[in-house]
């Protein structure tokens, strides 16, 4: 018997099993790759496939491999050695493969010659062989149901203005009034010189809307996740997060000093296994999920996560970037949609840049958490406050959303229409259903980029979502629906795409 109760297994037996698990995950003949091939590049495995394979390995040997355990490992041999060391109770003989290898350095003074820059150029040439680059398309107008690209009005199905709050007459007026009163900048960190009554009113409005005791606002949505996770979770804590989490969560996890581990998307059983295995360890355990996933459009089973966080004494954080202001009877987000108790979600994260129509991020939570963040969240303390017109426009947007449900009602009518029509045309809409994110699966990066360009020629703007935002071979056109769209505009987009997909053989 090995140290952790596993039956004794030799290194070669483990190697064979790990190899077989990867072969199954890749759906490849085991002889097609070697134990020393690079897992992330040589095998064409995306990180989601790696997470699934590692979950299987953990189940097979009843161990937990945290992000820090596997971070330096790039081959099946390295992984098998780690498993062998772990089940035999050794402090790993390879804390990282990199440590055991002599590192070669190549001093660079010209960044244009660097491997990272040359890699970017090569990827651009391969992905956009026809020259059209779907990134950084300028929109020189308000972005609502339409926007102006190259001087031409197009139907805009790529923005996050879900409820039309950006460009709403009342939010614009609130912004103008705030500029007159406060100017355009906070002119300081709020902790010292930049505080305003306006900001305190905004935080109160967010806390009331999200049914929490308090809230704190930072200048960027991405940065709020990063700074919250790294300031709230410390050495001795543990973060367990969905493998499909947004980059801002993954980066925040990496920046925090806590141990961490990803679980396969919405895999409650694997999450429970992990929580069970770590229940005697760590000071704080934080489960991080999203309300609506930004690349697939699915709504997470939040009540199940609430059940687990209660059973295993954890904190639960939900990123409401795409659920706040979208789902629920009053577009209030996950608690509204699932009729949760206000305390079921401990940390409600949201961005101001989507349904709320401005820019920034918030954490809504119990007053003790928010009080701590006001003094210790570095991205708040050491950064200037949000710009006053954004704060005022955002506060107005919350007021409108709470007093009038008509935009949310129209948004859902539009979503239902668009998803139904895509399905009728035979398109694969991934996990879309009730959220404003409706992806249409295409396949390769090149095909998704080309179709995006062709649709723009037809007067419809929709950006492609490509690797690494989605797994290799699963690139998609990611439509985002707004309350401002008319049914005619949605119909024009679906029928234009259907025509192109038929012509190019994507639809039979």
**Closest by CA position to 481, among listed 165, 168, 139, 160:** 160
Nearer to ligand PMP among residue 186 and residue 321 (C-beta): 321
Q: From the CB of 359, what's the least distance to ligand PMP, in Å?
A: 6
Q: From the CB of 54, what's the least distance to ligand PMP, in Å?
A: 23
**Closest by CA position to 191, among listed 369, 364, 366, 383:** 383
Nearer to ligand PMP among residue 51 and residue 222 (C-beta): 222
**Closest by CA position to 19, among listed 32, 30, 7, 6:** 30
Peptide bond between residue 74 and the one before it cis (omega within 30 degrees of 0) = no
Nearer to ligand PMP among residue 321 and residue 451 (C-beta): 321
Q: Would you state the structure tokens that stand for residue 17, as one six-digit string?
A: 């099993």
305-313 contacts at long range (C-beta below 8 A, 24 or more positions apart): 305/268, 305/271, 306/340, 306/344, 306/345, 308/268, 308/271, 308/272, 308/275, 309/346, 311/275, 312/272, 312/275, 312/276, 312/279, 312/285, 313/279, 313/285
Which residue has the CB atom at the shortest distance from ligand PMP?
221
Nearer to ligand PMP among residue 221 and residue 439 (C-beta): 221
Nearer to ligand PMP among residue 353 and residue 387 (C-beta): 353
Q: From the CB of 169, what's the least distance to ligand PMP, in Å?
A: 23
| CB burial readout 137-175, b (16+ within 10 A) else e | bebeebbbbbbebeeeebbbbbbbbbbbbbebeebbebb
How far apart are the C-alpha atoms of 105 and 128, rounded to whole Å?
Answer: 32
Nearer to ligand PMP among residue 55 and residue 351 (C-beta): 351
Q: From the CB of 351, what's the least distance to ligand PMP, in Å?
A: 3
Q: From the CB of 252, what's the least distance to ligand PMP, in Å?
A: 10
Residue 212 CB contacts under 8 Å (≥ 6 apart), including other chains = 342, 348, 364, 365, 366
Binding site for ligand PMP (CB under 6 A): 220-222, 225, 246, 248, 290, 294, 319, 321-322, 351, 353
Nearer to ligand PMP among residue 352 and residue 419 (C-beta): 352
Nearer to ligand PMP among residue 134 and residue 221 (C-beta): 221
Q: From the CB of 368, what's the least distance to ligand PMP, in Å?
A: 24
Q: From the CB of 355, what's the least distance to ligand PMP, in Å?
A: 11
Q: From the CB of 247, what's the least distance to ligand PMP, in Å?
A: 8
Q: Would you state the structure tokens that stand for residue 25, as one six-digit string?
A: 């995950």
How far apart are the C-alpha atoms of 466 and 477, rounded to whole Å?
Answer: 9
């Amino acid at each position: 018997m090995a140290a952790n109760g596993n039956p004794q297994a030799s290194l070669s037996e483990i190697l064979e099993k790990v190899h077989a698990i990867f072969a199954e995950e890749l759906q490849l003949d085991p002889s097609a790759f070697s134990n020393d091939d690079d897992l992330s590049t040589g095998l064409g495995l995306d990180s989601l496939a790696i997470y699934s394979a590692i979950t299987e390995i953990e189940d097979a040997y009843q161990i937990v491999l945290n992000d820090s355990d596997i971070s330096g490992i790039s081959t099946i041999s390295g992984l098998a050695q780690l498993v062998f060391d772990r089940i035999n109770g050794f402090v790993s003989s390879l804390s990282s493969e990199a440590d055991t290898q002599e590192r070669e350095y190549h001093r660079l003074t010209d960044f244009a010659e660097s491997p990272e820059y040359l890699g970017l150029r090569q990827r651009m040439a391969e992905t956009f062989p026809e020259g059209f680059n779907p990134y950084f398309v300028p929109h020189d107008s308000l972005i609502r149901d339409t926007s102006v690209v190259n001087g031409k009005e197009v139907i805009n199905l790529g923005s996050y203005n879900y409820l039309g709050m950006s460009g709403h007459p009342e939010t614009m007026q609130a912004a103008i009034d705030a500029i007159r009163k406060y100017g355009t900048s906070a002119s300081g960190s709020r902790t010292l010189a930049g505080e305003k009554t306006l900001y305190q009113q905004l935080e109160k409005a967010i806390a009331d809307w999200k049914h929490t005791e308090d809230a704190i606002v930072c200048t960027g949505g991405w940065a709020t996740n990063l700074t919250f996770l790294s300031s709230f979770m410390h050495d001795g804590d543990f973060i367990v997060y969905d493998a499909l989490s947004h980059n801002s969560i993954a980066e925040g996890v990496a920046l925090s000093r806590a141990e961490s581990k990803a679980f396969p998307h919405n895999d409650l059983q694997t999450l429970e296994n992990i929580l069970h295995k770590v229940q005697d360890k760590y000071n704080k355990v934080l489960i991080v999920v999203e309300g609506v996933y930004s690349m697939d459009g699915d709504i997470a089973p939040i009540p199940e996560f609430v059940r687990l966080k209660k059973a295993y004494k954890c904190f639960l954080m939900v990123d409401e970037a795409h659920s706040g202001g979208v789902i629920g009877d009053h577009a209030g987000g996950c608690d509204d949609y699932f009729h949760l108790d206000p305390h079921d979600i401990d940390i409600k994260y949201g961005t101001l840049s989507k349904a709320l129509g401005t820019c920034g991020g918030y954490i809504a939570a119990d007053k003790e958490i928010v009080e701590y963040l006001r003094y210790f969240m570095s991205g708040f303390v050491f950064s200037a406050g949000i710009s006053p017109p954004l704060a005022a426009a955002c506060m107005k947007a919350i007021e409108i959303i709470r007093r009038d449900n008509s935009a949310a009602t129209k948004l859902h009518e539009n979503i239902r229409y668009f998803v139904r029509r895509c399905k009728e045309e035979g398109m694969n809409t991934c996990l879309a259903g009730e959220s404003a994110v409706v992806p249409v699966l295409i396949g390769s990066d090149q095909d998704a980029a080309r179709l995006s360009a062709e649709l723009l020629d037809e007067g419809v703007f929709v950006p492609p979502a490509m690797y690494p935002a989605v797994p290799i071979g699963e690139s998609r056109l990611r439509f985002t629906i707004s309350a401002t769209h008319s049914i005619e505009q949605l119909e024009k987009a679906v029928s234009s795409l259907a025509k192109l997909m038929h012509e190019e053989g994507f639809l039979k």
